[in-house]
Amino acid sequence: MSTARWGAGFANAARFVVEIEAAAAGSGQLRPGYVLAGDEAFLLERCRNAVLKGFVPPDLRDFCLSDLDLSQNSIFEVLDRAQTPSLMAPFQVIFVRNVRQLYTRGAKKEEFAALDHYFRSPNPQALLIFVADFVRIPPTSGAWRWTTRTALNGSPKPWASTAGWWSWRG
């Protein structure tokens, strides 16, 4: 069944799940980090479950799964955990919430430099999943183009604050 008629979020979530399942089966490449952008709880849960099923054995969950929040932990702590191999589990999965904290006031040059440094030489036994659930993705591609163009043009709309996020994701 094609996900094209369901909207951009469903298609992207399905593509992410397929990529994770292929990597878990050994037939695909796993990237060192992903950004799950969107406020649809069902899709976020679907993606999370695919990662847990593929890379987090139930008996090792306490040792290889971390849920960190950038309002309580710094990005430096997150990256330190990702760089440090686990003694109890062969692979680590780290979910990072409140990504918006990277885009609060201030220059944040050190934080982005640390992210750049990590992703140039990531730990192959770690997977970082950044959850950007503050981003609202419109249901149609036309609305998406309008929202992105308006945000990037400096409109005082509420979603204009996400412009830095989209430019960072490329």
Residue 46 pLDDT grade (very low, low, confident, very high; cuts 50, 70, 90): very high
pLDDT score of 157 more than 60: no
- Mean pLDDT, rounded, for 55-80: 93
What's the average model confidence in pLDDT over 30-56? 90
Query: In whole angstroms, how far apart are CA 61 and each of 26, 33, 66, 103?
Result: 21, 19, 9, 31
According to DSSP, the residues that pair with 34 across neighbouring strands are 129
Instruction: Yes or no: say if 55 and 93 are a contact pair by the CB < 8 Å rule.
Output: yes
Q: What pLDDT score was predicted for residue 154?
A: 47
Which tens digit of pLDDT belongs to each residue from 112-142? 999 999 999 999 999 999 998 877 766 655 5
Specify the pLDDT at position 170. 33
Start-to-end Cα distance in the chain: 29
DSSP collapsed to 3 states, the chain:
CCCHHHCHHHHHHHHHHHHHHHHHHCCCCCCCEEEEECCCHHHHHHHHHHHHHHHCCHHHHHHHEEEEECCCCCHHHHHHHHHCCCCCCCCEEEEEECHHHHHCCCCCHHHHHHHHHHHHCCCCCEEEEEEECCCCCCCCHHHHHHHHHHHHCCCCCHHHHHHHHHHHHC
pLDDT for 8-28, tens place per residue? Answer: 556 788 889 999 999 999 999
Please state the pTM of the whole predicted model.
0.74
